[in-house]
């Protein structure tokens, strides 16, 4: 078994606020888009940002590896999703608006307004990424039509009793996660919605490649792998050092769905074996190193959070975005 | 009833009114004939237009409208043939409102105008002088100012004779002018000094008989009003009343108080006087405070005071006269100042020489030191209860604290709640010998097997059994044991629950455990209202002497009834219990965008228009009651078994997230539910024909 990518290979600097969203670009997966609380979205080329890179002192200067900045958000950026053609991406944030961007011109193509609260997540969906599904603090999931010029959503799911934190689209299904502790799978083919009660506020959803399992992060410091077929629990991933009780922390599957990766409230990144459920690796994001053995208790700083992790779908590489404004790309030194 | 009398349509001969004297010469008429009554009905012919309808009191009925139409206008008229005529509109365009100044008369009515006219009449000023009399100013100091002194004829004559005001009458007096620089001034003739007129009391003219004693006979000492008092007299302006003291003593003592009618006539006593007798200052000018009678001397008033020492120099300096104009008695000297006794010189007390000791003192200083309150003494004592008991020779109580008796969990809970970590360990011991509940002493070990059940729950389960369904219907003996167990826990019985033959103690305990769960499960469903009230739980459970006082030590607030799915999720029982399904209707456009076929039972069209969600009925895979049952089963078997008896020991380490064991339905429960499979969901959808047969008619009707 090849080793787990545990060496920092790039450091993306420049954000002046906590980074809330990190996303790899599609198909060649060579770029990384980051969205942060400083209201900017940045497009990085991680290959040009060595791990030793430091943030430029002046905000006008470009940090190493920075390709473009996208400025339109008036509030923090909470999620980014790139379409399959790599020419558009969607970003959402605190301004209750879903932004559809053109990558080349760095301008917004469309802005979908209608949510009553901050939009926690926006993803592409449908045939040829023809819709955008957004999940909002107002408890609704709205589906926006990219093709038409209608300003109204195609559909709204307002079944959630609390803020909807994450949403994903898989073929004909829309899966949403809510703070009311439920994961709702809207199957457009059958017209039935299956509600799975997790019991704790759910903050992150990741689907396996087959689409039959879903990885669920909830605020009881547990990441669960749920069987979507019958709603049963396949595996729960915990660690005594793993803390996730307050913040929206993303988790993800990686390495061909063999590891579970999750950020945490206290600046650690945890990697579990998907089948065994044992914690394989622990990383401290701010120090850019792996923590072996018993993780020493550190004084938790306000910014010492790993709020988002993203696994590169093609390479053995992943990125972690922290509260210090830096994104660390981890890989194998070859 | 008609009050209209039938009348002849035309006057007959008999009804012809005899008018005039010449009609019937044979009759004699006296007096003047009354004028014919208009409204009166004397049966004579009246033409129709003159006839009126009256009610029984003679009031006219059927006014205009009933007599053939509305005729307010012309005949009984309001002014014109048309009735009310609108006032013709007068344009003010050319005729602008003139800027007239308003006068007071514009706002006056007749009364005001009359008053104004009256006020314009001239009057003499004489009437003003009627309030006083000329020359009476000596007893009318105030009103002398106001009264316009009319020149009487005598005054006029006197003035003509050379008299001036404020001069005396008489011959002129020769004397020198009374000014300061009179030295060597020549004498002039001055008018004599004006002397006051001696006012003689006016003769009272009484027309009474000899020996008549008017009111004096009644024995009331009434102060006679001074007769020569001015008409508008202000009594307080008079001099100090000399009769005040005697007047105070006067009031009659025979009556129940002095009323208005037996007014003594004095103005000083106001019979209506109420409240605190504040004396208002009613005089003008500087207010004079009444002198306070001093005990020793009256300040400000010169008086003769005995002065033992003579001051000859001073006495000889100026002859002193007493206030009556005479020199003081020989041997006395007028005091020049009042001896102020209050400001007498005070001397300090004598100094006690140091080291002096009174021989009279009896108290010892040591005693005062040793005085101490009981509480202080108790505080200073180092003895504790045990030491005192041993001192007093009492039999020692078992030297144990509360923590020796409470179980470990309760102690931990206490520690977490109070935040004190150094609490002693809870040992969970039983009560010492001699202090045990007599009921529970004998079969103590067996009582530990009887699971705890809330008294309310037990009673409710019993009540449900009495009214309706009860578990273990197929096994009468078991049912009896169940009832017995409930009765014990409801406090109706105190002996041990009976044990079936040929069963071991552990089986018996297991069965009791099952009973407890069954009672929990099968207690009546609590409604919305029931969930808002908690039944009072009694802490004294019989037979719970040893290991069980834990649950009631710290009462937790009653939690809301949880969603069973939520409960199951918390227990880690993910699966059918945490899953529910509800239908929704994706919009057609959405399906188109996803390039999928829309679900078959979509409502036709126009669902795309609104993006609203279709919240449907919730279809649960497992019925709620079955879910409850399973939850309780897991509670009893699995993780945090709260009601586990002590002998079972610690709960086995089970991970919460372990895939749920296939739920075993309760023994003897009525319906067994296969939780893995739900027929309602898995069964085939009914063919379209069925729906057509049921709902098809509607479409036909509509079209």
Check CB contact of B639 with chain A, cutoff 8 Å.
no
* pLDDT (0 to 100) of residue A123: 94
Between B113 and B448, where is the model more confident? B113
Q: Are A69 and A111 in contact (CB under 8 A)?
A: no
Most confident of the following: B377-386, B398-407, B618-627: B377-386
State yes or no: pLDDT of A202 exceeds 90. Answer: yes
**CB-CB: which of B586, B597, B611 is closest to A153?**
B611
| CATH (domain of A218) | 2.130.10.10
Instruction: Please tell me which residue of chain B has the smallest CA distance to A233.
Output: B574
- Report CB contact under 8 Å: B660, A145: no
Q: Is the pLDDT at B667 greater than 50, yes or no?
A: no
DSSP of B165-203: TT--SSS-EEEE--SS--TTPPEEEEPPPP-PPPPPPPP
Q: Does A150 touch chain B (CB under 8 A)?
A: no
Could A127 and B594 be called an inter-chain contact, meaning their C-beta atoms sit closer than 8 Å? yes
pLDDT, tens digit, for every residue of B195-247? 776 665 555 666 777 777 776 666 644 444 444 444 444 444 444 444 444 44
pLDDT at A199 over 70: yes
Q: Are B575 and A126 a contacting pair at CB < 8 A? A: no
A162 touches chain B (CB under 8 A): no
A189 has a pLDDT exceeding 70: yes
Top residue of B611, B621, B680 to mutate, by most chain A CBs within 10 Å, is B611
A214 lies in which domain range? Answer: 7-331
Average pLDDT rounded to a whole number, residues B87-110:
80
DSSP secondary structure string for all residues of B354-415: TT---TT----HHHHHH---HHHHHHH----HHHHHHHHTPPPPP---GGGTS-HHHHHHHH
Residue B267 has a pLDDT of 56
Complex ipTM value? 0.86
The per-residue DSSP string of B277-301 comes to ------SSSS--PPPPPPSS--TT-
Q: Report the chain B residue with the minimal C-alpha distance to residue A198.
A: B569
State which residue of chain B sits closest to A170, comparing Cα positions.
B594
Calculate mean pLDDT across residues A182-211.
Answer: 91
| B562 against A306, higher pLDDT | A306
pLDDT over 90, % of chain B: 0
As a whole number, mean pLDDT of residues B566-595 equals: 86
Nearest CA in chain A to B594: A126
Would the pLDDT of A194 be above 50?
yes
Number of domains comprising chain A: 1
Q: B368 or B195: whose pLDDT is higher? A: B195
Across B75-84, B202-211, B350-359, which has the greatest mean pLDDT? B350-359
Q: Is position A236 within any domain?
A: yes
- Confidence (pLDDT) at A305: 87
Using the Cβ of B591 and the Cβ atoms of chain A, whether some distance falls under 8 Å is answered with yes
Report the residue from B566, B569, B593 with minimal CB separation from A126.
B593
Is A67 inside any structural domain?
yes
pLDDT tier at A178 (50, 70, 90 boundaries)?
Answer: very high
Helix (H, G, I), strand (E, B) or coil at B642: coil
A272 interaction partners in chain B (CB closer than 8 Å): none
* B617 at interface of A, judged by CB pairs closer than 8 A: no
Q: Cβ A155–B613 below 8 Å, yes or no?
A: yes
In a domain, A196, yes or no: yes
Instruction: Report which of A191, A79, A109 is spatially closest to residue B590, judged by C-alpha positions.
Output: A191
A2 assigned to some structural domain: no
Q: Would you list the domain boundaries of chain B?
A: 1-10+44-77
> Distance between CA B182 and CA B168 in Å, rounded?
23
C-alpha separations of A248 from A37, A195, B644 in Å: 14, 21, 38
Structure confidence at residue A139 (pLDDT): 92
Q: Which of A17-26, A183-192, B684-693 shows the lowest per-residue confidence on average (mean pLDDT)?
A: B684-693
Beta-carbon contacts of residue B308 (< 8 Å; ≥ 6 apart): none
Q: Which residue has the higher pLDDT, A91 or A27?
A: A91
Whole-number Å distance between alpha carbons of A131 and A133: 6
B622 shares contact with chain A (CB less than 8 Å): no
The reply to whether A158 touches chain B by the CB within 8 Å rule is yes
Residue A1 belongs to a domain: no
pLDDT of residue B233: 43
CA distances to A26, A147, A178, B231 from A144, rounded to whole Å, are 21, 9, 19, 107
Strand partners, A102: A88, A107
B42 Cβ contact list (under 8 Å, min separation 6): none
B428-485 residue pLDDT tens = 766 655 665 555 444 556 777 777 777 777 777 777 666 556 777 777 788 888 888 8
- Mutation target to probe the B interface, by most B beta carbons within 10 A, among A182, A188, A216, A223 is A188
Which residues of A are less than 8 Å from B562 in CB distance? none
Q: Which of residues 506-565 of B touch A (CB under 8 A)?
A: 563, 565
Residue B173 has a pLDDT of: 81
Q: Is A278 on the interface with B (CB under 8 A)?
A: no
Its sign, for the CA torsion B435, B550, B640, B671, is positive
What integer is the mean pLDDT of A3-7?
Answer: 86
Chain A hits for B613, Cβ within 8 Å: 155-159
Per-residue model confidence (pLDDT) at position B627? 61
Pick the closest to residue B62 from B79, B45, B81, B48 (CA basis): B48
Q: Is A170 on the interface with B (CB under 8 A)?
A: no
Give me the residue from A145, A189, A195 closest to B589, CB to CB: A145
Give pLDDT, residue B702. 44
Burial class (CB in 10 A: 0-12, 13-18, 19+), A5: buried
Could you tell me if A311 lies within 8 Å of chain B, comparing CB atoms? Answer: no
Assigned domain for A308 exists: yes
Q: Which residue has the tokens 């103690």?
A: B505
Residue A161 lies in a domain: yes
Closest CB to B599: pick one of A126, A189, A230.
A189
Q: Looking at per-residue confidence, does B44 or B585 come out higher?
A: B585
Within the 101-120 window of chain A, which residues sit less than 8 Å (CB to CB) from chain B? Answer: none
Å between A232 CA and nearest CA of chain B: 4
In chain A, which residues have their Cβ closer than 8 Å to the Cβ of B598?
Answer: 188, 191
* B484 membership: H or E segment, kind and range: helix B476-489
pLDDT, position A108: 92
- The DSSP output letter for B231 is T
Mean pLDDT score, B308-321: 51
Tokens representing residue B378 in the block: 């108790």
Chain B residue whose CA is closest to A180? B566
Residue for token pair 């915990």: A238
Q: Give the best residue of B565, B575, B578 to mutate against chain A (max A CB count within 10 A).
A: B578
Cα(B346)–Cα(B323) distance, integer angstroms: 33
pLDDT at B259: 53
- CB under 8 Å to B55, separation ≥6 — which residues? B3, B61
Cβ pair B589:A188 closer than 8 A: no
In a domain, A142, yes or no: yes
What is the number of other CB atoms lying within 10 angstroms of the CB of residue A333? 9
Higher pLDDT, A133 or B135: A133
Partner B contacted by A131 (CB < 8 A)? yes
Confidence of residue B597 (pLDDT cuts 50, 70, 90): confident
pLDDT exceeds cutoff 60 at A312 = yes
A154 touches chain B (CB under 8 A): yes
Beta-carbon separation of B578 and A231 below 8 A: yes
């Amino acid at each position: 078994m090849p080793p787990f990518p545990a060496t920092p290979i790039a450091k993306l600097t420049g954000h002046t606020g906590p980074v809330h969203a990190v996303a790899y670009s599609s198909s060649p997966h060579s770029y990384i888009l980051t969205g942060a609380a400083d209201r900017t979205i940045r497009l990085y080329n991680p290959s040009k940002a060595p791990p030793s890179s430091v943030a430029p002192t002046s905000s006008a200067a470009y940090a190493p590896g920075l390709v473009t900045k996208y400025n339109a958000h008036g509030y923090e950026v909470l999620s980014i999703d790139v379409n399959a053609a790599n020419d558009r991406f969607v970003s959402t944030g605190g301004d209750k608006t879903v932004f559809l961007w053109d990558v080349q011109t760095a301008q917004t193509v469309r802005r979908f307004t209608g949510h009553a609260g901050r939009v926690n997540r926006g993803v592409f969906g449908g045939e040829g990424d023809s819709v955008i599904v957004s999940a909002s603090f107002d408890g609704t999931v709205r589906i926006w039509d990219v093709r038409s010029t209608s300003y109204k959503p195609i559909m709204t799911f307002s079944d959630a009793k609390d803020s909807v934190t994450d949403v994903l689209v898989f073929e004909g299904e829309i899966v949403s996660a809510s703070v009311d502790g439920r994961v709702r799978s809207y199957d457009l083919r059958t017209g039935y919605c299956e509600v799975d009660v997790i019991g704790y506020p759910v903050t992150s959803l990741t689907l396996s490649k087959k689409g039959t399992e879903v990885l669920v992060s909830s605020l009881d410091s547990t990441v669960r792998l749920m069987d979507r077929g019958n709603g049963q629990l396949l595996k729960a991933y915990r660690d005594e050092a793993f803390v996730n009780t307050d913040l929206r922390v993303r988790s993800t599957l990686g390495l061909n769905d063999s590891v579970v990766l999750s950020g945490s409230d206290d600046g650690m990144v945890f990697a579990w074996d998907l089948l065994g459920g044992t914690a394989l690796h622990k990383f401290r994001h701010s120090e850019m190193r792996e923590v072996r053995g018993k993780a020493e208790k550190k004084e938790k700083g306000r910014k010492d959070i790993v709020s988002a992790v993203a696994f590169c779908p093609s390479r053995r590489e992943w990125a972690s975005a922290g509260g210090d404004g830096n994104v660390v790309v981890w890989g194998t030194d070859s | 009833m008609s009050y209209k009398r039938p009348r002849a349509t035309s006057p007959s001969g008999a009804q012809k009114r005899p008018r005039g004297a010449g009609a019937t010469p044979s009759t004699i008429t006296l007096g003047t004939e009354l004028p014919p009554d208009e409204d009166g009905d004397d049966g004579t012919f009246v033409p129709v237009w003159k006839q009126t309808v009256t009610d029984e009191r003679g009031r006219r009925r059927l006014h205009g409208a009933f007599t053939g139409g509305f005729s307010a206008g012309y005949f009984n008229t309001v002014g014109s043939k048309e009735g009310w005529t609108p006032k013709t509109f007068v344009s003010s365009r050319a005729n602008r409102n003139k800027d007239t100044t308003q006068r007071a008369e514009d706002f006056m009515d007749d009364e005001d105008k009359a008053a104004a006219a009256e006020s314009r009449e001239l009057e003499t000023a004489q009437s003003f002088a009627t309030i006083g009399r000329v020359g009476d100013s000596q007893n009318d100091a105030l009103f002398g100012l106001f009264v316009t002194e009319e020149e009487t004829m005598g005054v006029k004559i006197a003035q003509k004779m050379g008299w001036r005001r404020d001069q005396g009458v008489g011959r002129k007096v020769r004397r020198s002018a009374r000014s300061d620089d009179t030295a060597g001034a020549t004498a002039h003739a001055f008018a004599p000094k004006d002397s006051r007129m001696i006012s003689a009391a006016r003769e009272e003219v009484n027309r009474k008989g000899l020996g008549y004693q008017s009111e004096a006979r009644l024995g009331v000492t009434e102060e006679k009003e001074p007769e020569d008092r001015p008409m508008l007299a202000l009594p307080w302006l008079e001099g100090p009343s000399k009769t005040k003291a005697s007047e105070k003593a006067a009031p009659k003592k025979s009556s129940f108080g002095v009323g208005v009618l037996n007014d003594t006539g004095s103005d000083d006593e106001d019979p209506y006087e109420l409240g605190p007798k504040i004396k208002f200052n009613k005089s003008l000018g500087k207010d004079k405070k009444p002198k306070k009678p001093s005990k020793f001397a009256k300040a400000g008033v010169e008086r003769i005071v005995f002065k033992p020492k003579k001051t000859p120099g001073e006495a000889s300096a100026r002859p002193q006269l007493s206030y009556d104009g005479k020199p003081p008695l020989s041997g006395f000297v007028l005091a020049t100042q009042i001896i102020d006794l209050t400001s007498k010189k005070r001397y300090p007390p004598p100094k006690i020489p140091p080291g002096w000791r009174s021989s009279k003192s009896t108290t010892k200083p040591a005693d005062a030191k040793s005085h101490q309150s009981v509480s202080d003494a108790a505080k200073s004592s180092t003895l504790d209860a045990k030491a005192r008991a041993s001192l007093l020779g009492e039999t020692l109580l078992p030297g144990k604290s509360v923590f020796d008796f409470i179980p470990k969990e309760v102690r931990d809970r206490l520690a977490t709640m109070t935040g004190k970590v150094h609490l002693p360990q809870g040992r969970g011991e039983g009560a010492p010998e001699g202090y045990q509940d007599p009921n529970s002493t004998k079969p103590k070990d067996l009582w530990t097997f009887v699971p705890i059940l809330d008294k309310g729950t037990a009673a409710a389960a019993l009540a449900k059994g009495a009214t309706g369904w009860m578990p273990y219907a197929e096994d009468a003996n078991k049912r009896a044991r169940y009832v017995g167990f409930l009765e014990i826990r409801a406090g109706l019985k105190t002996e041990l629950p009976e044990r079936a033959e040929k069963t071991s103690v552990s089986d018996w305990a297991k069965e009791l455990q099952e009973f407890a769960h069954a009672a929990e499960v099968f207690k009546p469903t609590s409604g919305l209202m029931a969930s808002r009230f908690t039944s009072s739980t009694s802490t004294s459970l019989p037979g719970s002497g040893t290991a069980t006082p834990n649950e009631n030590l710290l009462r937790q607030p009653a939690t809301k009834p949880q969603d069973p799915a939520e409960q199951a999720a918390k227990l880690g029982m993910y699966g059918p219990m945490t899953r529910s399904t509800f239908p929704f209707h994706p919009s057609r456009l959405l399906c188109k965008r996803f390039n999928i076929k829309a679900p078959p039972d979509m409502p036709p069209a126009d669902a795309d228009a609104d993006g609203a969600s279709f919240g449907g009925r919730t279809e649960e895979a497992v019925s709620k009651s079955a879910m409850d049952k399973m939850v309780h089963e897991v509670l009893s078997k699995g993780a945090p078994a709260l009601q586990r008896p002590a002998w079972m020991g610690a709960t086995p380490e089970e991970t919460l997230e372990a895939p749920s064991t296939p739920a075993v339905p309760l023994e003897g429960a009525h319906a067994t539910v296969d939780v893995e499979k739900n027929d309602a969901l898995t069964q085939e959808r009914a063919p379209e024909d069925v729906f057509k047969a049921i709902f098809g008619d509607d479409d036909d009707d509509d079209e």
